[in-house]
Amino acid sequence: MSGDWLQNLSAWLSLHPGWLAFALFCTAFIESLALAGIVVPGVAILFAFAALAGKTGMPLAEALIWAGLGAIAGDTLSFALGRKLQGRLDSVWPLSRYPALIAKGTSFFRQHGGKSVVIGRFVGPVRPIIPLIAGALWMPWQRFLAFNIASAVGWAPVYILPGFLVGSALASEIQPPAHFYAVVGVSLVVMLAVYLILIQFQLGLGEGSRFYTWLERRMASYDATHRFWRLYTNHRPDRGGEFPLASLMLALGASGLLLLWGQLATQTDSLDTFNQLAFAWFEQLRQPLLDGPAILATLLGDPPVLLAAAILATLALSFRGYYAAAIHIVIAAALTFFLVWLLKFTLGIARPDAVLSPPSSGAFPSGHSAGITVFVTLAASFVAGESRSHSRWQSYVLLSLPLLPVALSRLYLGLHWFTDVIGGILLGLAITGAIRASYSRHDRIHLAPDVSMAVAGVLWLGFTIAYVALAWPEAQADFRPL
């Protein structure tokens, strides 16, 4: 498919914008269809059509919905084909021409199970193969549809939003703030490096690592400490073995950093200049086009959305008999709510004067940042616990992605200072570390996903969509810049 073909089609669609929705649906459908996504450069075409949608004034929600529906339909048809071709994937043309790809997809699915439908949506060559494999290996329809719909909700913004923003920027000639690309590029590189270092540090403290083995030998030379170490590990209900060193280090390290950061942010003026510079930079960045995505991100971090996730997860886990996991989720939610309220009430830091009706609570720490941090890191730790040790970092990286837009939305909308967001993230990490350290006595009890968990996920998705729809008008009015 040549660039001329794409250019001619884009030119035709710019003259007939009524067909853009159909074009987005068809492109997402073909890009998700078994093997067709390998042949057709769907990503490039989606970017071009999304840019055209932004340029012609199509509502962003409409573009996301049509692309998401196309992706769901393509994966569903691929799944149905897999069911039909069960046991014959290697012998039916054109699948027979790609035995290595089929083998790779099968191995990937066997390794990750239902998660592969979500992961595969974003992973290069196996993307259009995983639904086919899932159908051929007789994955239940209900479970597949739950993973399929949930992954499409995350997939559509990732693939549509960049092109849509580019097209809208071209149409409205948005002027970014000074040094925009340099600031964004350096910030992303630094955040990625810090995050990967933290993950590697966490994984390097687990059982079997050099540091863990060295520390265990050192503990053997101190009778009292060694007795405590063995007392803890021998009372694990499902295993003897690993002391929760990594989780304890996370809890202690994040707590220490929070104490230091909180003192600097609330008791001194040493960070005030940086707060003002960050506030001014985001104030220059603010554009009507970006308000929608920022409000959506901040609503996804609202307490009702996160509490609904905690309640549904608790019910699903309790229904399956995973009472320890359910209790720890309840404790994590309660601890996050209480500590955020206590710090805000005690410190009473004023928020930036930037929006028409800011929240009435104190600024430090950011409750949204703390809540979303606990939500994504705790979910990542549970999922990673069911994965092989060498692939756990993938779960942490993928499931932690929602943290960034929620935290940035608080800065973009002018609802928090930079120090508030960092304080919230540190508080969330400290809570996650403490909860994981406590739950580690049960972490060899496999939390096998089933229909009840899929139903909980669908219910939470439905609640979130309804909540965002109801809260949207008020949020638009409250977060209007002064």
The sign of the dihedral angle between the CA atoms of 203, 208, 213, 219 is positive
Q: 327-345: string of b/e by CB count within 10 Å (b at 16+)?
A: bbbbebbebbbebbeebbe
A 10 A CB-CB count for 467 gives: 16
pLDDT digits (tens, 9 = 90+) for 190-199: 666 666 666 5
Question: Based on the number of CB atoms within 10 Å of its own CB, is 146 exposed (0-12), middle (13-18) or buried (19 or more)?
Answer: buried
Q: Is the pLDDT of residue 352 over 60?
A: yes
As a whole number of angstroms, the distance between CA 426 and CA 366 comes to 10
Q: Is the pLDDT of residue 239 over 50?
A: no
Average of per-residue pLDDT across 214-238: 50
Cβ partners under 8 Å of residue 256, min gap 6: none
Task: Kindly state the percentage of the chain with pLDDT values over 70.
Answer: 65
pLDDT band at 333 (very low <50, low <70, confident <90, very high): very high
Q: What confidence score (pLDDT) does residue 169 get?
A: 62
Q: State the DSSP code for 480.
A: -
Average of per-residue pLDDT across 120-149: 72
Task: Select the more confidently predicted residue: 76 or 330.
Answer: 330
As a whole number of angstroms, the distance between CA 97 and CA 102 comes to 10
pLDDT digits (tens, 9 = 90+) for 246-301: 777 788 888 888 998 989 888 888 888 888 888 888 888 887 777 888 888 899 99
For residues 97 and 70, the answer to whether their CB atoms sit within 8 Å is no
Q: 69 vs 3, 26, 30, 83, CA distance in Å?
A: 26, 10, 12, 21
Least confident range from 26-30, 238-242, 388-392: namely 238-242
As a whole number of angstroms, the distance between CA 37 and CA 299 comes to 33
As a whole number of angstroms, the distance between CA 391 and CA 58 comes to 40
Q: Is the pLDDT of residue 420 over 90?
A: yes
Q: Would you list the DSSP string of 331-373?
A: HHHHHHHHHHHHHHHHH-PPPPS-BSS--SS--SS-HHHHHHH
Q: Return mean pLDDT, the chain.
A: 76
Closest to 300 in 3D by CA, of 160, 407, 406: 406
In degrees rounded to 5, what are phi and psi of residue 355? -120, 165
Average of per-residue pLDDT across 196-206: 57
pLDDT digits (tens, 9 = 90+) for 427-437: 999 999 889 88
Helix axes 367-385, 303-320, angle to 10 degrees: 30
Which tokens in the block code for residue 335?
């601890």
Helix axes 141-172, 451-478, angle to 10 degrees: 20
Cβ partners under 8 Å of residue 310, min gap 6: 329, 330, 332, 333, 375
Average of per-residue pLDDT across 307-317: 91
Q: 459 vs 315, 321, 438, CA distance in Å?
A: 12, 20, 29
Q: 186 vs 189, 192, 416, CA distance in Å?
A: 5, 10, 22
Cβ partners under 8 Å of residue 65, min gap 6: 156
Task: Give the three-class secondary structure for 481.
Answer: strand
As a whole number of angstroms, the distance between CA 339 and CA 390 comes to 34
Q: What confidence score (pLDDT) does residue 187 get?
A: 63
